Amino acid sequence: MTAESVAARYETRWAVLMTAIIVFLLAIVVFTGLHWASMPPSRVEVIDATTLHLKGEFTENNLGVAVDAQGRITVHLLAEQYAFRPQCLVLPQGEPVTFRATSSDAVHGVLVTGTNINTMLVPGYVSTFVATLKELGEHSMPCHEFCGVGHAAMWARVRVVPKATFDQLVRTNRRPGCV
């Protein structure tokens, strides 16, 4: 048997093994993704970034956490150079929360530490996803997409509180906040 044929045999076996490993890892991702109905955090929903402050759901008095009559919790979040509005979100532990976020100027990004919340915020598009926060306490929420000279200072916070505390806050404030 020549050295060349030995090398060819091992290369073929190695390629089959690597393909099997890749297929196995992809199968895990596909199965868990379908099993929990996981979705990518963004979809194509457009909005006029030049009139965000004048009309629609991202006007100043509509930003933050809101609970509708059916008890569904929605967060409207606006990213702009160099801050998130609002600066701090109070959210209940273990409840599904719908995030709707956009940018009024440059491309920003948002993530919440200790969670899988992580999406781009692009002017002209609304990023929507549903997340359930499990860990009580303060989580930082930085901008993770370089957006200009003030990018490093663009931080906000998420405070996760027990459901009862959140309900109490909602009863006393139309928009529950950190202060």
Partner 1 sequence: MLSPPNEPSSEEFDRAASSGPTGAVALCGIAVCIVVVIWLAFYFLAFLPRGFLQ
Give me the residues that bind partner 1 (CB under 8 A), please: 1-3, 6-7, 9-10, 14, 18, 21, 25, 28-29, 32, 36-41, 96, 114-117, 129-134
For residue 62, the one-letter residue type is N
Q: How far is the CB of 32 from partner 1 (least distance, A)?
A: 7
Nearest Cα to Cα of residue 136 among 164, 118, 162, 166 = 162
Question: By C-beta, is 81 or 115 nearer to partner 1?
Answer: 115
Using CA atoms, how far apart are residues 172 and 18, in angstroms rounded to an integer? Answer: 59
Question: By C-beta, is 96 or 137 nearer to partner 1?
Answer: 96
Question: By C-beta, is 17 or 152 nearer to partner 1?
Answer: 17
- Cβ–Cβ under 8 Å, residues 103 and 121: yes
Nearest Cα to Cα of residue 155 among 76, 75, 87 = 87
Q: How far is the CB of 95 from partner 1 (least distance, A)?
A: 12
Question: By C-beta, is 16 or 21 nearer to partner 1?
Answer: 21
- Cβ–Cβ under 8 Å, residues 113 and 140: yes
Q: How far is the CB of 159 from partner 1 (least distance, A)?
A: 17
Using CA atoms, how far apart are residues 113 and 47, in angstroms rounded to an integer? Answer: 27
Q: How far is the CB of 139 from partner 1 (least distance, A)?
A: 11
